Structure 1
Amino acid sequence: MQLILISGLSGSGKSIALRMLEDSGFYCIDNLPASLLTSVVEQVRPFGYDHVAISVDTRSAAALGALPAALDTLRASGDDVRVLFLDAQTDTLIRRFSETRRRHPLSGCALTIPESVAQERQMLGDVAELGHRIDTSDLSANQLRRYVRTFVSLDIGSLVLIIQSFGFKHGVPLDADFVFDTRCLPNPYYDPELRPMTGRDAPVAAFLAAEPQVGQMEDDIAGLIERWLPAFRLDNRNYLTVAIGCTGGQHRSVYLGERLAARLRQGEQTVLVRHRELDEA
């Protein structure tokens, strides 16, 4: 069985992810207490469901402590168990609740929405470390669906390395394990002919490739990642996200993201590339 466990903060897009999986043929269960996870999986197994998605979050907060043991039990039985944790910046979550006029699940405890988000983030802190995190702050619904679809289709027999470019002016990704700042490098933005292009375009790539500092930055980042990947594998990490940032997330970070991905694909790990500011376009 392939089991996708979805968790995360309220308003981060869990419903979108679960509906996408349901449309893809998964048998989906929303808001299941973690203490019932193994028994429910065993109940549906005889019916031939080999793709199951289950949402677990703070609506069943008292049972969250049982989640790690339940995941270990299911993995020991040979199931392909993956945990997807959705997160978002606090101001983004507050805006989403304001726009939809939905009540936060914890607001019944006489908490404001900012207080509810802060408490929920603390309650889910340990769960966030169990799987792959996606920061949905700047993602459209279509982007999130694509990211989840990719996550489901991955071969996770080896560590999955995600190279993500972003623009600092739009915020640092919450799901990053490493963040590298490339704003000190020469900027193609100031060339009127290169400004409308991105780091994927040949003229921008040629501009940056001609700058020695850019090559040095690439070597330093790649060297650090290559040096420490074995340690992350020994720590049983399935996912590692490396975020490369420049000012707008269009030129330098995109170019270096593509270069690093091509270089790091030569190893044992699976490498994905995401360009946060370009993906929607």
Structure 2
Amino acid sequence: MTASSVVPLSQPRSAPRPFVVVTGLSGAGRITALHALGDMGYVAVDNVPLMLLGDVMNSTVGNPGERAVPLAFGIDTRTFGFDPRALVRRVDELRQRADVAVRLLFLDCDTEILQRRYTESRRPHPLAPDRPLIDAISEERKQIGGVRDAADLVIDTSALSPNTFRQLLAGHFALGAVGTRLAVMSFSYRRGLPREADLVFDVRFLRNPHYVPDLKPLTGRNPAVAAFVAGDPGYRPFVDGVKGLIGPLLPRFDAEGKSYLTIAVGCTGGRHRSVTVAEELADWLRGAGRSVTLSHRDADAAGDAGGAG
């Protein structure tokens, strides 16, 4: 059992204790998630036997009058006594308590990616001592499917870099955050839709700098590229329309308690048009006083000959 050494940010005793249960497929990023939550101020503990869950929680309460620390527990198929149905029942019981604000986080990942991760790390899968790796992954997915269905949040880490994964976790679980935290990202349709996106906008109708030799090697962060993209007659009506759509939604998301919203802008290659639009949207949201993270998933990928941009 390992615990974070970071001194946690405390919560008032009168407020429910933030409590995140991290589970999911082995190799999908549970340890990375616990480290990220520990950095945020949670007491992060891994491999807590389910039958000891209540005892561990009570041992971290502290003395009367002290502030309750936020908790993050990692539990999965390698945890002693793991039972997916019992885990769901225990989380449901905790959801009824007024002193605990429990959230069940399930980490998912494509089978091919999990195979590659295990091959590269050379670590054994917990269900693969005497069977092929792909069979172990399939069996684990079958065993914990009910936990996924009961989760408050499912994050697929297949295409997430460690930094993007940590940003996503911070958006959902940062302590003391007020209002909906926003992430704006650009991406390439050629490399697939970002699975974490809540709102997706397609800007492939704009003029493509890929076909301008001087602009092709640059990205939408370059002023010359940004000016070229913004010079399209359709640019300003589109961007203003997106702002008009998103603006009124944000107070509603705040009122509903939505913690994180990801806005994704895509073009063919993810280097030019989507980057320019994402940059403007992020600047606009920050100017409105919003907490915003900005990322360009595919901006630095090598452009293809077939109309990237």
Give the TM bin, normalised by the shorter chain.
0.7 to 0.9
1:170/1:88 CA distance change after superposition, 3 Å: farther
- Matching residue of 1:206: 227
| Aligned residue type for 1:240 | L
Secondary structure, aligned partner of 1:137: coil
In our comparison, the structure showing a higher alpha carbon Rg is: 2
**What is the RMSD of the two structures over their aligned residues, measured on CA atoms?**
3.8
**How far off is 1:210 after superposition?**
0.9
SS at 1:203 equivalent: helix
TM (normalized to structure 2)?
A: 0.70
Matched, 1:11 2:27: yes
Partner of residue 74 from structure 2, selected from 39, 55, 60: 55
* Unaligned runs of at least 5 residues, structure 1: none
- Is the 2:22–2:74 contact (alpha carbons within 8 Å) kept by the matching residues of 1? yes
1:223 shift after superposition: 2.7
Of the structure 1 ranges 61-70 and 202-211, higher mean CA displacement relative to structure 2 is found in: 61-70
> Quick one: distance in 1 between partners of 2:143 and 2:166?
24
Cα distance in 2 between the residues matched to 1:230 and 1:169: 33
Inter-partner Cα distance in structure 2 for 1:150 and 1:232: 14
Deviation at 1:158, TM superposition (A): 1.0
**Superposition map of 1:1-281 within 5 A:** 1=10, 3-19=19-35, 27-32=43-48, 37=53, 39-46=55-62, 50=69, 52-57=71-76, 59=78, 60=82, 61-62=84-85, 63-70=87-94, 73=97, 76-77=98-99, 85-105=106-126, 112-113=135-136, 115-116=138-139, 118-119=141-142, 122-128=145-151, 130-131=152-153, 134-141=155-162, 144-145=165-166, 148=169, 155-267=176-288, 269-278=290-299
Identity %: 38
Instruction: Name 2:13's counterpart in structure 1.
Output: none
Structure 1 counterpart SS, 2:193: coil
Query: Cα–Cα, structure 1 residues 149 and 125, in superposed 2: closer, same or farther, change >3 Å?
Result: closer
Q: Distance in 1 between matches of 2:52 and 2:290?
A: 34
Partners of 1:121 and 1:210 lie apart in 2 by 51
The SS at the match of 2:266 is strand
What residue identity is the alignment partner of 1:174? Answer: R
C-alpha separation in 2, matches of 1:175 and 1:120 = 24
Change (3 A) 1:13 1:278: farther
User: Quick one: distance in 2 between partners of 1:234 and 1:107?
Assistant: 46
Counterpart CA distance in 1 for 2:37 and 2:91 is 21
TM-score of the two chains, using structure 1 as the length reference: 0.76
- Is the alpha carbon distance of 1:108 and 1:270 closer, same or farther for their aligned partners in structure 2, counting shifts above 3 Å? same
State the distance in 2 between where 1:239 and 1:71 align: 21
The Cα of 1:206 is off from its aligned counterpart by 0.8
Q: In 1, distance between residues paired with 2:276 and 2:96?
A: 39
| Aligned partners of 1:199 and 1:251 also within 8 Å | yes
Over 3 Å counting, the alpha-carbon distance change for 1:203 and 1:196 in structure 2 is same
SS at match of 1:277: coil
